[in-house]
Structure 1
Amino acid sequence: MKLKKTTLAVIVASSIGIGWLTLGGTQVILDKTSSTEFCLSCHSMETPYKEYLGSVHFSNAKGIRAECSDCHIPQEPMEYLWTKIRATKDVYHEFVTGKIDTDEKYEQHRAAMAETVWEQMRGNDSATCRSCHDEDAMETYEQSEEAQKMHLYAAENDQTCIDCHKGVAHLPPEAKMDSTALDHLLDEAKTTPVDAKVVYPVQTIAMGDLGSINPATPLKNLKDEGGKRQVELSGYQMQGAEQVLYMGEGQRAIIATLTKDGESALKAGEFKADAYGNQWRPVSLVATIEAPVLDSQQPLWNYAEQLDNVFCSTCHAKIPANHFTVNAWPSIAKGMGDRTSISAEDLEILTKFFQYNAKDVVGH
């Protein structure tokens, strides 16, 4: 039985119409549910939205705004569809479980939610970031010296954007450090044997009227006098900055700061010029300290590793201490530390960890 041309035309037209309505309608729905307005229809999105309003992705000098979908929905077809399917869980928790319907609940789950997004972005090599940002288009000379170093490090170590840029639109999970960790370290220092050959301060400590000694500085233990230790400090002094003692010639890791009395008490060698024309000389100083000290740097480094995990690795991939030099680490550590709630005391310990394990100290 042959179909009439009109019947066939109606069937073809109907099929096209149904297909257009199905595919086109689906695309319209997918597009509408990707809008920022749709995201904000969920009450639980108010918290991240307020954070986004204060970010450079919402307002910046170039007038370019990234909407929710620009950062959270990849445009590659399969990734796009999979992301949309995964997003149904957000609707479920919004209207059924109320999992994050209060500020308290949101903060409770912030870390888990952030890790989920970060893992997705690591898996697709930060595809949404790269839809706007192209490394080949970066004018690196306009970046800060710190940014240039970090981008070079990322390229050399196959890192992706999200490894370092975790707090660009939303607040990262709050960094928390065990408040008793430093107390335990100080308690351990109190058990250091009186006859230990070499000792190391946990924090910046006083040496009477002579000045102060920085954390982790090796001190030759000469004798113990009723809880007071007589120690010998050895380091290098640079001409023009005589009040400061450094780890080594040309290595600007500060180990001690001297008073005028301290400068006068120094036993010093001869000044010699380094490759840059700076004059350095070896010096030593005998002083008395009362603060608790460790007989090994390792407990201090274990504490510094905790600081690194909490205050550094929360926001970007861990950078090994031996990647930068002694002289490069202070500015890098301070620049990153200023973005966190780390205390000045802990930042000094962390900086010393990086410097004592820097690539020009450990040899690789």
Structure 2
Amino acid sequence: MFAPSLAVSSMWVMHKTSETSFCLSCHTMQAPYEEYQGSAHFMNQKGIRAECHDCHIPQSGMDYLITKIRASKDIYHEFVTGKIDTPEKFEEHRLAMAQTVWDQLKANDSATCRSCHQFDAMDLQKQSADAQKMHALGIKEKQTCIDCHKGVAHFPPEITIDSKAHDALMEHARQTPADAKEVYPVAPAPLGNLGTVYPATKLAVVGKSGDAREVEITGSQMQGAEQVIYLSAGQRLVLATLTEEGQKAVKVSSDWEKDPYGNAWRSVSLRAPLAEPALGKPDEIWNYAKTLDQAYCSGCHAPISSEHYTLNAWPSVAKGMGARTDISAEDLDILTRWFQYHAKDIATRE
């Protein structure tokens, strides 16, 4: 009789400690609960509510037991170590706690999410255009729910970039040898009084102009927008913007030719002084961009390959996503350029 009674008691305890009311017995869970109350999992037009255990505890098997054992650490830190017993401490450890949950969901293929949501049960045609696109991508690349739906019921951790990373990038640029054959600006830089060149633009060093490098930029102009030098015909990656004087100094190397959309393009080059520091290779700019991607993009969803969109499509995609974060305009520009320079049509061309 003792063994069955113990088993029944254990199951009862397991059940009671999975209820939302039990979770809320720890005062540090009040903030996550308030976040959850503002989500579609708490209140929605269909009247279906997902409680704490629906999202955090697999329904059966070893995953259920392992999750219950792991959850005991929260009680330990709440009442014994005091590790998360204040709002400030909770925020300090929010990323680590979230990462633990993300890792678990990644390992079990988002088992708790899939107890309600299944790709094969989705009517994609009734979803928004963005949702259709991302779910189709998720199916194609065999992604799991948590890859894209971090922060679905709770505020995601704030992930920021240490300004020292950008400062280090500038310091490396200052150390570029004076005899470098080509350079890549780290930030928007004036080309004397001829215009402004933008990060990661390849500049051939052709001489010196006082204390500045004399550089040459090569690209394309579109008829009607001669104040801009683009990467090439039809590819709207802005290398530089020109003043009226800069437009007059441009050397034209081909006649106007129309693209399939009726826009006329011509090849051009421009020589100008560059006084600002610049790197001898773009690698460190791209490493910085990858750090930005991990902090501002991958914190919410799985990394999206730069080859997923074309060079011309990336700016609007990056701008839309960037608006949901606190990324600076300068960092968003660098990140966008990383995507553009490694885009689907660029990768194919190379």
- Aligned-residue offset at 1:273: 1.9
CA distance in 2, matches of 1:139, 1:233: 50
Counterpart contact for 1:146–1:332, Cα < 8 Å: no
2:337 aligned residue: 352
- Aligned-residue offset at 1:38: 1.9
The DSSP-based 3-state class of the residue aligned with 2:241 is strand
Is residue 279 from structure 1 mapped to residue 255 from structure 2 by the alignment?
no
2:80 aligned residue: 96
Change (3 A) 1:319 1:210: same
- Aligned-residue offset at 1:115: 1.6
Aligned amino acid, residue 252 of structure 1: R
1:103-122 to structure 2, matched below 5 A, reads 103-122=87-106
In structure 2, the gaps of 5 or more residues are none
Change (3 A) 1:316 1:264: same
Aligned amino acid, residue 27 of structure 2: H
1:130-169 to structure 2, matched below 5 A, reads 130-169=114-153
Q: Name whichever of 125-134 and 237-246 sits farther off.
A: 237-246
Q: Name whichever of 127-136 and 25-34 sits farther off.
A: 25-34
Aligned amino acid, residue 103 of structure 1: P
1:261 aligned residue: 245
Is residue 79 from structure 1 mapped to residue 79 from structure 2 by the alignment?
no
Counterpart contact for 1:223–1:231, Cα < 8 Å: yes
- Give the greater-gyration-radius structure (CA): 1
- Aligned-residue offset at 1:121: 0.6
In structure 1, the gaps of 5 or more residues are 1-14
TM-score (normalised: structure 1): 0.85
1:5 aligned residue: none
Is residue 336 from structure 1 mapped to residue 306 from structure 2 by the alignment?
no
Q: Deviations over 1:169-201 (max 9, x none)?
A: 122222132211111211221222333222111
Q: Name whichever of 211-220 and 151-160 sits farther off.
A: 151-160
Aligned amino acid, residue 287 of structure 1: A
- Aligned-residue offset at 1:117: 0.8
The DSSP-based 3-state class of the residue aligned with 2:292 is helix
Change (3 A) 1:78 1:184: closer
- Aligned-residue offset at 1:343: 0.9
Counterpart contact for 2:209–2:273, Cα < 8 Å: no
TM-score (normalised: structure 2): 0.88
1:51 aligned residue: 35
The DSSP-based 3-state class of the residue aligned with 2:96 is helix
- Aligned-residue offset at 1:66: 2.3
1:7 aligned residue: none
- Aligned-residue offset at 1:22: 6.7
Counterpart contact for 1:195–1:224, Cα < 8 Å: no
Counterpart contact for 1:202–1:293, Cα < 8 Å: yes
CA distance in 2, matches of 1:172, 1:359: 30
Identity of aligned residues (%): 58
1:320-335 to structure 2, matched below 5 A, reads 320-335=305-320
- Aligned-residue offset at 1:154: 2.7
Q: Name whichever of 115-124 and 353-362 sits farther off.
A: 353-362
CA distance in 1, matches of 2:215, 2:46: 58
- Aligned-residue offset at 1:146: 4.4
CA distance in 1, matches of 2:113, 2:221: 47
- Aligned-residue offset at 1:297: 0.8
CA distance in 2, matches of 1:222, 1:93: 63
CA distance in 2, matches of 1:118, 1:194: 47
Is residue 305 from structure 1 mapped to residue 290 from structure 2 by the alignment?
yes
> Among 178, 202, 207, which residue is 1:218 paired with?
202
Q: Deviations over 1:208-242 (max 9, x none)?
A: 33322111011122221222222222112223433
Give RMSD over aligned pairs: 2.6
The number of aligned residues is 348
The DSSP-based 3-state class of the residue aligned with 1:188 is helix
The DSSP-based 3-state class of the residue aligned with 1:132 is coil
- Aligned-residue offset at 1:145: 4.7
The DSSP-based 3-state class of the residue aligned with 1:235 is strand
Q: Name whichever of 50-59 and 192-201 sits farther off.
A: 50-59
